Structure 1
Amino acid sequence: MTLSEVREIEGEFSLTFYCGELPADAAIAAAGHEPNGYFWEGVAEFIGGDLVKQMELDSEGGMFCAVGEQADLTAMQSLLEPLLTNGNAVLDVIARAEAASFIFDD
């Protein structure tokens, strides 16, 4: 079961998922972050490298949203989807980001 979705609406592709009730939320909150769309934008920026530069991030508190080319969004989905259900994997990303002085804007 996937929690995120790449969809086309009026010729524009987006990757979205709702935040606030994800399996990884408890781990995110325990690490001192808000499990919202802005946090997940930070995760996408940190792990996405050049890929994230190919899309526009347009999240809200309750939803992550990225807009771009279908192939890029599908690639980003493959990076993010495993983290949505795995608190330990998200904690690893948070630890690596903090070690790199990355600041989440959540």
Structure 2
Amino acid sequence: MKPLKLFETTPGNFSLLLDAGTTQVDETVQELGHEPNGYFWEGVAQFLVSTEAKTLDGRFSYDPEAGMFCAYGTDRDALQELGDLMSAIAADADRMRALVAAATAAGFEFDD
């Protein structure tokens, strides 16, 4: 699930984290006109949930910052599934290009 990390913050509460600027696709994201910050990655997560993993909707919350993406909640399995989806995008420039193109075509706007 690299570069994302999933850990238990307190008993029964989990956080999925990504340090912005540490992925293999940062340069691609910039070429596509976006800033690879935590807010952009929240958009990636939201778009993935809405298009590829609708069963995850509402099972966790987001709390990104400029330097970090964060999703959190009590449903470890949901966060694990999101992390797996996001790590595949974070490691594959072609998949990132396809995701941004699909998001743009759908009228989705990244908040970066």
Instruction: Tell me if TM exceeds 0.5.
Output: yes
Of all paired residues, the percent bearing the same amino acid is: 38
> TM-score normalised to the size of structure 2?
0.89
Q: Count residues in correspondence.
A: 106
3-state SS, counterpart of residue 7 of structure 1: strand
**In the alignment, structure 1 residue 9 sits paired with structure 2 residue 14:** no
**What's the secondary structure of 2:58's corresponding residue?**
helix
When residues 65 and 52 of structure 1 are mapped into structure 2, their CA distance, relative to the original with a 3 A threshold, is farther
Over aligned residue pairs, what C-alpha RMSD do you find?
Answer: 1.2
1:105 equivalenced with 2:111 (yes/no): yes
- For residues 39 and 57 of structure 2, the distance between their equivalents in structure 1, rounded to whole angstroms, comes to 14
- Are 2:43 and 1:42 aligned? yes
- Which 5+ residue runs of structure 1 have no aligned equivalent? none
Structure 1 match to 2:25:
24
Paired AA for residue 27 in structure 2: A
Structure 2: give runs of 5+ residues left out of the alignment: none
Segments of 4+ in structure 1 off by > 6 A? none
Aligned counterparts of 1:4 and 1:71: Cα–Cα separation in 2: 14
TM-score between the two structures when normalised by the length of structure 1: 0.94
